[in-house]
Amino acid sequence: MDAQGCVLGLDVGGTGMKGAVLDHGLRPLETVRRPTPRAEGPLAVVDAITDTLLTLNAMAAERELPVHHAGVVVPGIVDDERQRALWSANIGWRDLPLAALLEERTGIRVTLGHDVRAGGLAERALGAARGARDVLFVAIGTGIAAALVCDGEPISSGGYAGELGHVAVEPGGRPCACGGTGCLETVASATAVAAAYTARAGRAVTGAADVAALAVRGDPVARAVWQRAADGLADALATATTLLAPESIVLGGGLAEAGDLLLDPVRAGLGQRLTFQRPPALVRAELGDWAGCLGAGLAALRAAGRTPTTPRTGVPTP
């Protein structure tokens, strides 16, 4: 891998995709954001991923930088060893050889990974959990999932580890896309927060950020919905803390952009639920909603036989 080369990182979420051309220090040279066309079906999402990788490759070519590898991270269940996207409730694919498909379509070597595991590894290597050996990274967006790093090693378990969003926090509650009921995702995901406010208030909001803004202004319905989400997160995190004893819990994803409005009630609720357990540090992700993209780039660098050459500075902007 020559000193002038680059890698591509692409984070595919249930709502949108974030991609970047990254140098060897994981500094963004070019970035792109696009919607994820999940309503059009899983094949349309594969087409959109292909097109975005080709766009990033063209951006690198304009800078006369050879692309040595691409990292693509997706939600759901991902088998890292076989490089297959096994299942996603939000996108709908089943046992898809995604890395091979993308390599065939683009001619770029691709490493496939899980979006949240990638974000967790990026936060541990570059962000809020630097230096910690036991980390729980929780991404709260369209869905909710977690990445587990225990004794310095990521836990995958064939791609099935970390599905915190499908821990039941309201038994007998609302149906979840996974087939269960009362899952954390039905209470505390950005989608659930917006839907709950719309149902209770009788007027629509465009997203969870609107609910957060209304809660700050004292809207009682928004405050109730927000507190319910915080309580659900505290329940799930208390269970995770009891089982895993993380030194640090890092909250990321779109909902964590609310900062202390989310962290303060979750921190208080978690403290109330713990007794003998080691209390973890609960912090906001430093890499924002670009953690997955940077984690994808980190995986691409490692697949190409490299580690970041210098500490990364600056978070990509749209």
What pLDDT does 311 receive? 53
Neighbours of 218 (CB within 10 A): 8
Distance, C-alpha 10 to centroid of its chain: 12
* Residue 288 φ then ψ, to 5°: 60, -150
What DSSP designation does 10 have? E
The Cα 110–Cα 71 span in angstroms is: 6
What pLDDT does 55 receive? 98
The Cα 264–Cα 9 span in angstroms is: 32
Counting as low any pLDDT under 70, the low residues of the chain are 1-3, 310-318
The Cα 148–Cα 69 span in angstroms is: 25
